[in-house]
Amino acid sequence: MKGQARNFFTLAVLYFLFGIAVGLYMAISGNHGQRVSHAHIMLAGWVTSALFAFFYHLYPAIGAGAIARVHFWLHAASSVVMLVSLLLLYGGNPAFEPGAAGGSLVFGASVLLFAFVALPAIWKE
């Protein structure tokens, strides 16, 4: 695995570890107030990043392009902002709601960029 595929999969594994840690914290403490954050970490972080990695692994020419690099950094930055903001928001700090909202909007833009890249590629075959 090379290039953006490797970057996305590395990010996915880091989110997987982080999501497991949040889940273990909730289980051990008995406080399940972070279940929304945990679900977002596991799905938006782990699963989405892994799926992006596998797409770019299957289409290495697309993964080597500038749009793939932009996609990675847009996804990485927005997911960190969104997920950390959600942890702080559901931890009792409502001041982080704008971070969660802004991160979510940019995350959505990264998904649209992925659709722009992926759909034409899979329909060419």
Residue 115 has pLDDT above 90, yes or no: yes
Q: Whole-model pTM above 0.85?
A: yes
Q: Which two tokens stand for residue 23?
A: 């889940």
Average pLDDT (73-93) is 96
Return the axis-axis angle of helices 3-29 and 66-90, rounded to nearest 10°. 10
Residue 39: predicted pLDDT = 94
Confidence band for 117, pLDDT divided at 50, 70 and 90: very high
Take residue 115 and report the two structure tokens written for it.
């659709």
Determine the Cα–Cα distance for residues 73 and 46; give it in Å rounded to an integer: 16
For residue 46, which amino acid is it?
W
3-state secondary structure of 108: helix
C-beta separation of 10 from 33 below 8 A: no
Q: Is the pLDDT of residue 58 over 80?
A: yes
Q: What is the mean pLDDT of residues 23-28?
A: 95
